[in-house]
Amino acid sequence: MSKDEFIPVKKDPKRSVMLLFILISIYYIDNSHILSSIDTNINMYVVKPMMWIGLAIVVWKIPRSRAKAKLRNKGFVNLWAFNFGVIYVLIMIGAGIIFGLGKSPYSHSIKGIVTNLLIFGFPLVTREIIRSYMISNTKEKYKGVAVFLTALLMAFIKMNFSRYTGLSGLKSTAEFMGNYGLPNFSTSLMASYLSYLGGVVPAIMYMGIIEGFEFLSPILPDIKWIVKALIGTIVPLFSFMTIQELYKKESKEKEGIKAEKENPFSWMVTVVVSICIVWFAVGVFPVYPSVIASGSMEPKIKPGDVILVKKVDSESVMNLKIGEVIQFESGNILISHRIIDIKEEEGIKCYKTKGDNNSVEDGDLVRLEDVKGTIIKVVPKIGWPTLLLKTKDDVPKEQVEF
């Protein structure tokens, strides 16, 4: 791109809207069956790459404003974009060494590598060119909003649309956000900030290293999604905060509004704790919280108390003992009662339960597959805000026996 394309350029929101429309249209075509009548190989290796290449050429020809970093600082931004991309990959490899490595599902023959570059390389470059334009075409006072919204958009279109349509329930949504949503947004936010500072080159370098590792490496980390989510979310966010401090120092910029310098480490800890709390609340970990709505287990457990439930596997559920308090599903609600007897029904082991405060035992036996876990801790009263948000019909009266 020539030097004249950067100075001065009138920012035109209509161009951004037009590009946004074209980008979403290509994303829709790429994820729909519109091109299903075309031969699969031609569609994958010719038509789709040509769509992305065509869009990249159009955007590249549109004049844009100069990126924030001065020319003498461009090399600094590029260097750290490369460094942070490599750091991300090295941390993922380290996690793989600790938790396990697996074979990549992608072909790594010469043909396979070329195919990967065609299928994933052109969309990546095109996305970064568009990212750079969207941010540079925004007025300076709205740059922060542009960086955030562009990061959100690019994270959305990076994922196949079928991932969104396959969501059902809190757990699958939490797993989706941990596995794809938050990591993609975090890396996209970092790329958007790099694009804001240095234009398209550092963003391509950063995203290219991360995605290139995934698609070109014959061995990939085979780790639990929770670990992958933590690394994929925290490392880019930490990189994002660090590059801000490094750039301020390099360019001698000072913010007179802030009396103290921000500590990236404290932000990282806050993000980690916040994510863990959300995952804990939706039941991702082996122990999860549950709010008690009735008084059937008084005085041990009272309405408004929160119980911590330890999940049981197929082996431990067989070895529960009389006297243990378990949580089980009955109909569409969760009940926490004590085991008072062990019986068999049609040759299958079952548990007889009763609430400590109930006058009679529960009418139905609890089958093994209905047991969710055992109660290991009671935290008094902290569940009252949740109960206040529920209606009285949330706990059917016929399910509580006295």
Q: Which of 92-96, 230-234, 247-251, 315-319 has the lowest mean pLDDT?
A: 247-251
* Main-chain phi, psi angles of 340, to 5 degrees: -115, -10
Q: Which pLDDT value is given to residue 381?
A: 81
Q: What is the pLDDT of residues 122-179, one digit of tens each?
A: 888 888 888 888 888 887 788 888 889 999 988 888 887 777 776 776 767 777 777 7
* For residue 401, pLDDT beyond 50: no
Distance in angstroms (rounded) separating the CA atoms of residues 58 and 50: 12
* For residue 85, pLDDT beyond 70: yes
Beta strands in 235-298 (DSSP E): 287-291
Q: Which pLDDT value is given to residue 282?
A: 57
Q: Within 10 A of 43 (CB to CB), how many other CB atoms are there?
A: 15
Distance in angstroms (rounded) separating the CA atoms of residues 154 and 124: 10
Domain regions of the chain by residue span: 3-281, 288-399
Q: Are 206 and 192 in contact (CB under 8 A)?
A: no
Question: Residue 271 — very low, low, confident or very high, per pLDDT cuts 50/70/90?
Answer: low
Q: Give the mean pLDDT of the chain.
A: 79
Q: Which pLDDT value is given to residue 274?
A: 60
Under 8 Å CB-to-CB from 106, ≥6 apart: which residues? 112, 116, 215, 216
Higher pLDDT, 110 or 285: 110
Torsion angle in degrees (nearest 10) through CA of 6, 12, 15, 20: 100
Higher pLDDT, 165 or 212: 212
Q: Which pLDDT value is given to residue 7?
A: 43
Q: Are 180 and 159 in contact (CB under 8 A)?
A: yes
Distance in angstroms (rounded) separating the CA atoms of residues 323 and 321: 6
Q: What is the pLDDT of residues 34-48, one digit of tens each?
A: 776 777 777 777 777
Tokens of 138: 């925004």
Q: Give the helix/strand (H/E) hosting 154.
A: helix 143-158
Class level of CATH domain 288-399 = mainly beta
Bond into 202 cis (ω within 30): no
Q: For the whole model, what pTM was predicted? A: 0.62
Higher pLDDT, 355 or 8: 355
Q: Are 351 and 366 in contact (CB under 8 A)?
A: yes
